[in-house]
Every structure is written in structure tokens, then in C-alpha cells.
Amino acid sequence: MMPHGPQRNYAISDSLVDELARLGLSHACLSPGSRSTPLVLSLARHEGIKTWVHLDERSAAFFALGLARALGRPVAVVCTSGTAAANFFPAVVEAYHARVPLLVLTADRPAEVWGWGANQTIDQTRIYGSHAKWSVNLSPPDALADLLRYVRATGCRAVATAIQAPAGPVHINIPFGEPLVPEQATGNSELGASFAGIETLEGRPTGKPYLGGVQGTRRLGGEELRSLAQSLRGVKRGLIVCGAQEDLKFPVAVSSLAARLGYPVLADPLSQVRCGAHERGLIMDGYDAFLRSEALCRAFAPEVILRFGSVPTSQALLNFLRQHASARQVLIDDGGWPDPIHVASEMLCADARAVAEELAGAAEREADPEWADRWRTASELASRAVAAELKNMGELFEGKIFRELAFLLPEKAALFAGNSMPVRDMDTFFPSVSKQVRFAGNRGASGIDGVLSTALGFGAAIPEPLVLVVGDLSFYHDMNGLFAAKKNRLAATVILVNNDGGGIFSFLPQKRYPEYFETYFGTPHGLAFETAAGLYGVEFRQVKSWEEFPSLLSESIGKPGTRILEVRTDRERNVELHRRVWSAAAEAVDPVAKE
């Protein structure tokens, strides 16, 4: 039996939401809109789901991305029909490339008005193109029972698809006809009373998913593993490179593998491998500085490089990999081909942690101990040189922020770095420490958009206090994201590195065109962000010296509310200081390079 309009809408939305909750959905980001009413009211009425109301869909989607990234579980973001869905696009793209299981639920007008000029009606079918892992129009079959089976099964498949490696966004487009509220509306304030008469297909007993199951892990077979281990025998100069990845159990696995093989590990902070309680004896942290020494890059020629995670942030490291294109370079990844320089010679399509763990069991140590020692010495010399430079630096140098944070952050903390300079400075300047720091950034597509919202969402999902370091253009881009901080009284510390424009451009050859540089690249804006902080009722403090930085930080970290600590810098001077530090590091490793 077909239920009439509203009952049908709510049968769909109630069933879908119930199913998603059974699968572990615990957060949904919503924006005001009429067409999405059934989804919104179903989510609002579900006790197990926390709803977050945002006014700008672009920020909403990035906030949801942050939540999902922190939780490693799907988070829903819901919008009404029309350009609202288009505003999700930047976050969907980031989720796709960063492998974040974002569940995008777009309400739509019913199919009969598609393409006929109706209000707020655009083509939402596969609207995210190749950037959604799966996109489905929830076009209901006629019979109610069939419909509800379809809805529940689709919900299960959407979640499974979103989390299956490589994780990513899934899009469900749901057309709703009018009326959009339940027909038996009474306006009664008793929860549920006004939603009488909705037929739903009961889910499976005892709260199980309708279409349960298990996600397999892609692994190498025993023979393949033995063959890989065998192929590493006799290798004296091996190296492990770890780019961004979010498996929190990977650091232990890869450091065990490194210990087993005797390979130094060049670990991007975003790999989660650089810092923590795991064995860090082979973890190199100063490579972005010391690989700028050409002599060293020549002298430190590896035979084999095992590459895990995304393409590393460090350009110096990328250049090193390119320079050693004739070395055996092995990519280990389930789902990506992270090698834009096309130097890899093998691609192991399997889960990185599983390979690391199982290879550690199968491999034997044959590397030359001197090889690791030389890397360790270089890393230590470079780090010491960098530390010395920074120590003497009284002025507010952008890179120094991260070194200070390494010592000032509490034992457990989350550090989110914005693109484009902060994430690079984090790589260069955050040393390997035993502290547990959860590093994060939007490195899927590496946009400067949505950073504030992603970080706030990330912080909202985890117990660790959140610190975000973000540049001024990026801060401006997503200033609307601060509304979530105000509305939800989120706890966060935002270190706003304000050099009044695009700092990274001063490092690029565009700088040589003074008649165009400031207008089109430097782009100074002169915005007083204290005013923006005032708009959203968040505290604003200017950091005037390194002396006051620790106290400003400790007054903020872990405290309720959001605070912006502005560090004002100069773009020109920033380049000079970076170059000075890099030179010092390159000079420091000179003796090792010439050995």
C-alpha cells in the first residue's frame, strides 16, 4: 500500500536515519531549508544523533569533514535543494582526496519538476561528478515495503562504501514531494506526538543493520610477502618515507618495520609517525631542511625506498625522490597512486598498516648500521642548527611557532595546520617528540578554503584540546566558519599568522615581477581580524613577543571557548628568515654529506 505524501516522506527519512544511526552515525550537520525538512526532523528526533546547525553550507560541509576525519566514521551533512548542494562541493572534493567518509544527503524536488524551471531546482544527479565515491538518486519504488527495504539497504551500502578503503564521500540525493511536514501535525510539544501515522518498515531486531557485514582489508598473500621480504635481502641502504595518513595504529607498525629493517624513516607530521610514544630511534624530523643540501642528497643515495601515505608535503623530499628515480621505490597504498613524479617502480595495492606489520614479521635486518647512523647524524645536526637559529630569533618568525608548540602543547593535543605555509612550516619545524600530538590538515586537495570549519569540527569530535595554525587568507576565506564556534561555544585555540596577504608567493618566482606582485599575488587586504572576532564573540589576543606566547597559549588551550591568538609577521622578512634557517641546516650537515 502506497502511503500518501508526507507519510511517504517520513517513512523514507525515518528509515534512512534509523539505519544510519544503527551503523554508527552520531553527528549530522544541517542548514536551514524547506525541502530538507523530512531529513532534518528525522535527524532531530533521533536521540543517538547530535545535530549541528550551520547557516553557510560551505562551512557546514567542512565542519562535517572535520568531525568525520577526527572520528574516522561517517558524518552526515544535509542540505536543501539548489545551490545549497553546490556549496558542499569544496568539502566533498577534499573528502574524496583526503579519504574522509562524508555522507552527503541532499534534498531534492521531485523528479517531475527537474529541468522544468522550478524554484531552487538544479540537476543534482551525480552533482559531485568524479568526486563522490557513489552517488544515488533515492528514487522510490511504488510499494511501501519495497521502498523501505531499498532505503535501508541503500543506507547500509552508503556507509560501507564511504568507509571502504580508500574512504571517501558518498552522495544520496533524496527527492521529496509536498507537503514536507507530517500530515497529522498537532503542534504538540510532546516529542513524537506530532509524527503519528508514519509507517516504517521495522529494522532488524536488536538494533542490527538491515544489511550488515564486514569490511575486508586488502593484504598481500604469504607468498607475496615472502617474495617482498626476500627482495629486500642484501639491501644496505633502505629508506622509509611516510606521507600524510590517518590510521592512528600505523606509527607503531611502521616504526617496528623500520627497526626490523634498519631503515631510517622520513616522517611527515601528518603521517602521525613523527611524534608519540612509539619507538622513534629511526624517525628523522629535520629532512625538509637538510635535504636542501645538494651534496647530501647526492651522498645519501638509497637503494630502496618504501613509501607509505600521501605524497609528502616537503618539496625538498620530493626533489630527493626525483633525484633518486633509479632507486627501487615501492608505493604501498590501498587505492591511491601517490606519485606525481612517476619514479615509483612498484605499487603494492594493499593496506599500509597490514603490509608494515606483516613485512616486519617476514623481513630480516641486513641494512648497513652506518647508513642509518649517517641519516641520524644529519637529522640531528640539522635540527640542532635550526634550533640554534630559532633560539636566537627574538622576532616573531612564522616557523618558530611550531617549534614552540612542540614544547608548549600538553601531553595530548590535536594540532591542525592550514595550507599553504603553516603545513609546510609544521613539517620543517615541528621536531620529533614523545608527546602524543594528533596532527591534521586538509591535505587532500590542499585548498586554503574551509580550514577553520574543518579544524573546529575536528576539535569538536575529540577529547584532545585543539590548536589550529592558519594564515590570514585562509582565515578570511572561511570566516563564516567562526559562527559554529560562537553558536556551540566550541573550545579551540586559533593561532592566526597574519602577514596581510599570501605569504607563500614571496618564495616563488612571481616575486620577481614587482609591478604585478602585490596586486595579484601578495594581495594585502588590511583586514582587522579583531573585528571579526568581535562579530562572533570569540576572544582575540595579539601575540607581541615570544615571551608572552607560552602564557597566552596556556590561558587558552583546553579552556572553554575559542580564542584567536594573532601573530603578525612580515612576508618579505619571513622569506629571509626561512632562507637563513635552511642555509644554517645545509651548512650544518656539510660534514656528513662529504663523508
- Stretch of 65-73, 145-153, 395-403, 444-452 lying at the interface with a second copy (CB under 8 A): 444-452
The answer to the question of residue 127 lying near a second copy (CB under 8 A) is yes
Cβ-based nearer residue to a second copy, 112 or 279: 112
User: What is the grid cell recorded at 71?
Assistant: 572520528
The answer to the question of residue 521 lying near a second copy (CB under 8 A) is yes
Interface with a second copy (CB under 8 A), residue from 531, 545, 547, 560? 531
Distance, in Å, from the CA atom of 100 to the CA atom of 72, rounded to the nearest integer, reads 7
The answer to the question of residue 583 lying near a second copy (CB under 8 A) is no
At a CB cut-off of 8 Å and minimum separation 6, what does 559 contact? 491
**Quick check: 173 and 137 in contact, CB under 8 A?**
yes
Among the listed residues 488, 461, 466, 465, the one whose alpha carbon sits nearest the alpha carbon of residue 73: 461
The answer to the question of residue 83 lying near a second copy (CB under 8 A) is yes
Q: Please report, as residue ranges, which positions from 162 to 201 form the binding site for a second copy (by CB under 8 A).
A: 179-181, 185, 187, 189, 191, 194
Interface with a second copy (CB under 8 A), residue from 93, 261, 452, 497? 93
Interface with a second copy (CB under 8 A), residue from 94, 351, 389, 566? 94
Closest approach of a second copy to the CB of residue 384, in Å: 30
CB atoms within 10 A of CB 361: 11
Among the listed residues 41, 80, 594, the one whose alpha carbon sits nearest the alpha carbon of residue 293: 594
The answer to the question of residue 418 lying near a second copy (CB under 8 A) is no
**Quick check: 448 and 420 in contact, CB under 8 A?**
yes
- Stretch of 160-168, 455-463, 531-539, 554-562 lying at the interface with a second copy (CB under 8 A): 531-539
Q: Please report, as residue ranges, which positions from 294 to 313 form the binding site for a second copy (by CB under 8 A).
A: 310-311
Interface with a second copy (CB under 8 A), residue from 3, 5, 26, 86? 86
The answer to the question of residue 545 lying near a second copy (CB under 8 A) is no
> Distances in Å between the alpha carbon of 192 and those of 17, 30, 279?
15, 20, 54
The answer to the question of residue 123 lying near a second copy (CB under 8 A) is yes
The answer to the question of residue 87 lying near a second copy (CB under 8 A) is yes
At a CB cut-off of 8 Å and minimum separation 6, what does 176 contact? 9, 12, 35, 36, 37, 38, 107, 108, 109, 110
The answer to the question of residue 489 lying near a second copy (CB under 8 A) is no
Cβ-based nearer residue to a second copy, 120 or 231: 120
The answer to the question of residue 542 lying near a second copy (CB under 8 A) is no
Distance, in Å, from the CA atom of 155 to the CA atom of 74, rounded to the nearest integer, reads 11
Closest approach of a second copy to the CB of residue 243, in Å: 8
The answer to the question of residue 535 lying near a second copy (CB under 8 A) is yes
Distance, first Cα to last Cα, the chain? 83
The answer to the question of residue 334 lying near a second copy (CB under 8 A) is no
- Stretch of 296-304, 492-500, 504-512, 545-553 lying at the interface with a second copy (CB under 8 A): 504-512
Interface with a second copy (CB under 8 A), residue from 20, 30, 228, 557? 30
- Stretch of 36-44, 219-227, 254-262, 564-572 lying at the interface with a second copy (CB under 8 A): 36-44
Q: Which residue type occupies 25?
A: L
Among the listed residues 578, 426, 431, the one whose alpha carbon sits nearest the alpha carbon of residue 495: 426
The answer to the question of residue 457 lying near a second copy (CB under 8 A) is no
**Quick check: 158 and 16 in contact, CB under 8 A?**
no
CB atoms within 10 A of CB 449: 22
